[in-house]
Amino acid sequence: MKKYPFLLLVCALPLLTLGLAFAEPPPVFDVDHDLYPLYPSLISYQKSGAEFTPPEVCGECHSKQYEEWTGSVHALAFKDPVYQGELNLAVKKAGHEISRQCEGCHTPAGVVTGEIKGPGLKGLSDMAMAGVSCDVCHSIVGTTHWQTPSHEPENGSFIIRPGVDTAEGAQLVKRGPFTPSEECGMGFHECEESSLHLQADLCAGCHQVYHYESHFPLEATYLEWKHGPYAQRTILCQDCHMVDIDTFMKTADEFRKPQRGEYRHYFNGANYLLYYLAAGSAKKAGDEELAANIMNKYEMAVKRLQAAADMEISPVYKDGELAEIKVRVQNIRAGHNLPTSLTNIRQMWLEISAKDDQGNILMSSGAIDADGHLPENARLFNSDGMGDDFHFAVDPWVITAFSRHDTIPPKGYKDVYYGLSCKPETNKIMVEAKLRYRQADQKIAEKLLANVPKDIDLEAVYGLTEVPTLPVVDMVVKEVSLNPSK
């Protein structure tokens, strides 16, 4: 018995020290500031004497790619007035440091060279203004997707190196999908074969937008894709967004990979509003050719949206009487959720009405009013942001979670039921349903455009004296007639 208290002491000591050692768990989102000197942007820059090249110069030899990229959302990523308005607000509300995070994706070359110091366009070089330009993508040499604080691709987690220093001086090196030929680069640049350019990982670091401190995924297009049926069949972002509309439809319908010769540099998505603004600006500047190029991209974006979804309307009978109308909304061709990216800003909703054979309205929902406002009862497919205090929030520096997230997964669907409150006295019930889309709520667009930096004159550049009612695209329109009883 005498030995017992001694043993206890021996055992208790290491336990005590262990207890102390574990008192402070490591943070969940640990930031390696040596790896990420430009934090909160996770972009890494391998500097040498080789400088970035503006797209106009690449375009002298690669005119086809240049023409396709010009006026694309990537080309507009920094000049975009909606972006500039939000950036300006971000800096005012969250402090200057946050601008590095935004710019690491919206103009990577501008931020790594230290040229860009915040919102506004005044006095900036062509290279900084060019947004996601040729030399951004074709200088990407690797990624740090798994070393990030979230251990997922986020906030620009790629490594960029426009070239290397050699004994003869700085040498530009451009990376692309092919095994280089003898004359590749024609003395202007060396070529390096890159399998990264044949992977969605190239796009991932910018298409996963995380909160700058809490690392909440505000935009998760890459992971939505990765966890879906297209990734499982190696159908990449490039296979839908770097081809024309017909090829994209075949890719999505048949899980068919495009032929090498079918790739284009359009990067066309859903943002028809930005093309519309940019085409207006080109017209204002008297450049009809550019305006036509951009309007072509506007039409492509509208067509892409209209190809993305489908809808089925069917009756639900109870005791032989029509009780509800069921609308099934299907994501048939988006490789990620529908809608994706800025899901708390984008609006996709159902507008529906049911009428009797005299044209009297039996039920209606989701009709927009003359000022562009949606009614409370509209069925939206998107998300609501909430801040640290769990209250509703809109801005990306405030949102640290979603209180509601209701988008449609790739090849998936959502069902919506509409009740009929009374028994209709009619032989036929006519139902019309529309799946509608716009970039933002009218008030949000007005707020962002009211906050563009002072050096962007919306009237002089875009011909805007006020924010017009935002255009709405009808993605799908269906009409059916239903029997009131079975």
- Of residues 48 and 426, the one with the C-beta less far from ligand HEC: 48
Task: Look at the block and give the residue holding tokens 């049911």.
Answer: 354
432, with CB counted inside 10 A (0-12, 13-18, 19+), is middle
**Amino acid, res. 274:** L
With binding defined as CB under 6 A, does residue 222 bind ligand HEC? yes
- One-character DSSP codes across 389-413: TSSEE-STTT--EEEEE--BPTT-E
- Of residues 297 and 379, the one with the C-beta less far from ligand HEC: 297
Q: Which of 112, 127, 138, 173 binds ligand HEC (CB under 6 A)?
A: 138
Relative to beta strand 429-438, strand 347-355 is: antiparallel
The CB density around residue 271, as the number of other CB atoms within 10 Å, is 21
With binding defined as CB under 6 A, does residue 132 bind ligand HEC? yes
User: Given the rule CB under 6 A, which of 103-111, 377-385, 424-432, 454-462 is the region that contacts ligand HEC?
Assistant: 103-111
- Give bridge partners of residue 480 from the DSSP assignment: 431
Q: Which of 77, 278, 311, 408 binds ligand HEC (CB under 6 A)?
A: 77
Q: Which of residues 331-350 bind ligand HEC (CB under 6 A)?
A: 333-336, 338-342, 346
Calpha distance 87→190 (Å, rounded): 36
Min CB(44)–ligand HEC separation in Å: 12
Q: Which of 36, 45, 216, 267 binds ligand HEC (CB under 6 A)?
A: 267
Q: Which of 161, 197, 250, 414 binds ligand HEC (CB under 6 A)?
A: 197
Q: Which of 173, 252, 354, 399 binds ligand HEC (CB under 6 A)?
A: 252
Q: Which of residues 145-164 bind ligand HEC (CB under 6 A)?
A: 155-156
Contacts of 306 (CB under 8 A, 6+ apart): 473, 474, 475, 476
- Of residues 258 and 484, the one with the C-beta less far from ligand HEC: 258
Q: Which of residues 295-324 bind ligand HEC (CB under 6 A)?
A: 301, 304-305, 308
Q: Which of residues 354-413 bind ligand HEC (CB under 6 A)?
A: 396-397
- Of residues 301 and 327, the one with the C-beta less far from ligand HEC: 301
Q: What is the largest CA-CA distance in the chain?
A: 100
**Amino acid, res. 181:** S
With binding defined as CB under 6 A, does residue 44 bind ligand HEC? no
Min CB(265)–ligand HEC separation in Å: 5
242 close to 266: Cβ distance less than 8 angstroms:
yes
Min CB(133)–ligand HEC separation in Å: 6
- One-character DSSP codes across 41-79: S--EE---SPPP--HHHHHHH-HHHHHHHTTSHHHHTTT
